Amino acid sequence: MKVKRSLVAAIAAGAIGVALLATAGVAAATGDDADTPITGPALEQASRAALDHLGEGRVTETEVGDEESMYEVEVTLPDGSEVDVQLDEAFNVVGSEAENGSQEDTD
């Protein structure tokens, strides 16, 4: 009887684990997960591209897989304003948006 209960508990735990993994996979596939910061060598490349594009400022936030582009780099300018710079997979600037909502597309 004890073995049967252990087996049932193990199967239930396994089913819960599979359900959690499936849910996480759906969230990642649909973009419902939390913002993922850029890391490693990509962070350096994305930061350099954004700062070169703007000519000044400091990187204050980054995101992989932004809804508008592959990478988004938020830069705070010396006057305190913020600009989001959108980058493609090759770290080319494809657009930018100031915190006031004005856009500059560089297709």
26-70 pLDDT, tens digit per residue, is 344 444 456 899 999 999 999 999 999 999 999 999 999 978 899
CB 83 within 8 A of CB 96: yes
Q: Does the pTM exceed 0.75? A: no
Query: Other CB atoms closer than 10 Å to residue 50's CB: what's the count?
Result: 25
Name the residue with higher pLDDT: 107 or 44: 44
